[in-house]
Amino acid sequence: MKASIFSYVLFLIFTITTQSIFIFTTTNTASAAEVVVRDSTGKKVLNNVRYHVAPVAKGGSIKLTDTINKKKVCPFDVVHDPKDNVGGEFMFTIITNGVVKENYLKTERILGIDSGYPKGACTESTFWTINDAEAKAPPANLITTGGGFDTDLTCFQVVEHPKPTNKNSYMLQHCPSFCGAGPSTCFNISLSSYQGVNRLSTVGATPFEFVFHKIAS
């Protein structure tokens, strides 16, 4: 009798210890990859707040447009404008399923990106979306708008650049399976020209390295 109580207590201690080691290691690895994102001046980037976004290498900025090669488009497209140093206002919102409210944007967290542009006649949503990340050629793999929050097509994450050329610069990845169904890999977003316009897409060898700029108030 005594022996069996003793072994039961031993078993309990063993279970609790291994469980806490398990929880400790899993939470540790999860938080190790998550880093608070910084803007170009080194300030923490706020979650769910509008910022300008600019590529590091090419100058100019990212903006939303309703016109491509003199033709109106709806939903709107996300383009690089080499001559515009301000660009559009983009809101990165971490998907938390309402469990924890995040004050700051973090790397390696799934998020939606909303352009919130005045829509006019175009009533499509302004969430960044990629219709077919695996498409070998544009336009199916271009970032446009028109998606919903927290779906596979609109699922992105900000990641640290392995070899940043600038302080506080990041890369963007599209990870469909992190939010829903779809290819279970993350696609690097890069900047390349399509029909004479620089666009963000899942094609291209050099990842789009960018910085966040606070919006002048």
64 or 191: whose CB is closer to ligand NAG?
Answer: 191
Minimum CB separation of residue 207 from ligand NAG in Å reads 4
196 forms part of the interface with ligand NAG (CB under 6 A): no
- Kindly state the tokens that stand for 56: 């590091």
Minimum CB separation of residue 194 from ligand NAG in Å reads 19
162 forms part of the interface with ligand NAG (CB under 6 A): yes
Rounded Cα distance, 107 and 105, in Å: 7
Name which of 145, 135, 143, 81 is nearest 115 in CA terms: 145
55 forms part of the interface with ligand NAG (CB under 6 A): no
Instruction: Specify the residue for token string 């994450």.
Output: 157
125 or 190: whose CB is closer to ligand NAG?
Answer: 190
Rounded Cα distance, 175 and 84, in Å: 29
- Classify the C-alpha dihedral 23-29-33-36 as positive or negative: positive
Minimum CB separation of residue 157 from ligand NAG in Å reads 12
25 or 185: whose CB is closer to ligand NAG?
Answer: 185
Minimum CB separation of residue 183 from ligand NAG in Å reads 11
Rounded Cα distance, 8 and 85, in Å: 68
Name which of 99, 194, 210 is nearest 144 in CA terms: 194
Interface residue with ligand NAG among 55, 112, 176, 207 (CB under 6 A) is 207
Interface residue with ligand NAG among 188, 192, 197, 204 (CB under 6 A) is 188
Rounded Cα distance, 97 and 162, in Å: 29
What residues line the site for ligand NAG (CB under 6 A)? Answer: 162, 188, 207
